[in-house]
Amino acid sequence: MRTNVAFKTLFTIALGLSIVSCNNSKNYKNNSRATGWDINSKDGGFQYKTDYKEQETGPGLVFIEGGTFTMGRVQDDVMHDWNNSPTQQHVQSFYMDETEVTNVMYMEYLDWLKNIFPPSEPNYKNIYAGAVPDTLVWRNRLGFNETMVNNYLRHPAYADYPVVGVNWIQAVEFSKWRTNRVNELRLEEEGYTKEGARYSDVSAGSTFDTETYLNAPTQAYGGNDEITRGGKNADKLGTSSDSTDAKNIYIQRKDGVLLPEYRLPTEAEWEYAALGLVGIRNYNAYRGRKKYPWDGQYTRSGDVKKQGDQLANFKQGEGDYGGIAGWSDDGADITAEVKSYEPNDYGLYDMAGNVSEWVADVYRPIVDDEFNDFNYYRGNVYTKNAINEDGTIKVVTPENVQYDTLSSGRIVARALPGEIAQEPISEMDTYLRTNFNESDNRNYRDGDKSSSRYYEPFAEISSDSKRMYNSPQFVTDTDSIGNVKPKYDASKRTTLVSDEVRVYKGGSWRDRAYWLDPAQRRYFPQDMATDYIGFRNAMSRVGSKSKDNNKTARN
């Protein structure tokens, strides 16, 4: 009898504690710890997404948990570039494409541009033309490659092969387009925007841009309220265009629905992801080193069924791009279909071989780890949203599309209709700031006056020939009828390094095994393309470092 009474007492106490715990949890989520007011009250007040779990993984991406690693550690330096000094860096968690961007992925982009901005209209003719890859990169003066020139980009036989002939600027513009299409679909699926509008109601003057929607939602889709407030759940959400008393009618950042931008990975991110050091982690340390994205010191498989086969697509030797017929070492003579080889420990394919890949960084021979060792990146150019005279955000219209003329004379669009116009930050924007003081930081601590061998305190370096980086300066001329012609730099130059050259990583189908080491780094002008450089996208992780949000020590 006493046992039953004791059991009932303990049960009652446990139940009471459980209720208190639930109430505390409920209070934490639905009541403000600052004011005590209800959050998300039907009567009004502060509205916030209190049931947010974590960032969803975007299409094509895999999660890369961040951590520390030694960047730039190579076993060989046969080129004697001396551009790799091992530095300890920490990379924040992020996401990365499991494969390189393929021809069919890029063709989807071109198809969208062609439909929305018809090249037949004079105002848009350079939008599509500026985005098309340079298929002539396949030509060789002593080689027959016309098959690739004519077929590689568009033929379905190459659909799942990595896209090439894309310069760094084109890769950045593709990334912006991809961000907008992914978030456009997410809004439609959440029932906020009109179903099917992305197919039937979009035109040059009414396109969707993520940043425009977040900063000036009434100007998204060209200001078409029937699209932005015409979703399938509009009545339930109280966002329908005929609802006069609706509140919180547009998705905001605080709702956690829209994904961060697709972008090019930084050099540190790319190298960290390619190494896949998670596979050799032992508690809180790495057990050994990795030369390639896979384990071991060799490029050939030791698996019994695949013994002797190459683990990546690269040049085997002089005149040997794929081995002997019938006994192919790597199964490819040019690029290979993505996922032809085993992924690394993060689930990423072709982080060595197939094609080299653009990364976001401006190239410099050194990595300045003395200034920063967290999310290292050289290439920051800070801008701000342009504002009209009436205080509204300035959105690019079909009449004022922004173009850039490249050193080759090619014209590319850098701001499409629907995007927010950008302008450099001003002196007032940085007044009394300690972390940055100008818009363009590409040559900070390397290439500025204080870094130059001609530097003298309180003196001006007036001569252009005394720049630290005496690189070619390509400009363009326009003739009397408006044709753009490149004007070549005839001056003697001592280097190709400038603020317009970008790092590319990873060996390609044209490279020897030496370049398969993820730490190797090379550079190429950002407005030029080749038949061996492609790219893949990354996305920043918001929130916790790990997916399981485990706060305790892990074995």
pLDDT of 105 higher than 60 = yes
- Torsion, Cα of 418, 424, 425, 428 (10° steps): -120
Distance between CA atoms of 397 and 203, rounded to whole angstroms?
12
Domain ranges of the chain: 1-44
pLDDT digit string (tens) for 48-91? 888 888 999 999 999 999 999 999 988 777 778 788 889 999 99
3-state DSSP call for residue 184? Answer: helix
pLDDT of 541 higher than 50 = yes
| The pLDDT of residue 10 | 59
- Asked whether 383 and 424 are in contact (CB, 8 A), the reply is yes
Residue carrying the six token digits 């390609």: 508
| The pLDDT of residue 25 | 42
pLDDT class for 24, splitting at 50, 70, 90?
very low
3-state helix, strand, coil in the chain (%, to 5): 25, 15, 60
- Residue 163 half-sphere exposure, CB side, CA atoms within 13 Å? 26
pLDDT of 11 higher than 80 = no
| The pLDDT of residue 40 | 86
Distance between CA atoms of 78 and 291, rounded to whole angstroms?
15
**Average pLDDT value for residue range 532-547:** 96
| The pLDDT of residue 429 | 93
Residue carrying the six token digits 């961040």: 66
- Average pLDDT of the chain is 86
Structure tokens of 412? 């590319």
Q: What percent of the chain has pLDDT over 90?
A: 59
Highest mean pLDDT among 42-56, 119-133, 151-165, 226-240: 151-165
pLDDT digit string (tens) for 357-402? 999 999 998 899 899 999 999 999 999 999 999 999 999 999 888 8
**Average pLDDT value for residue range 138-163:** 97
**What global pTM score does this model have?**
0.90
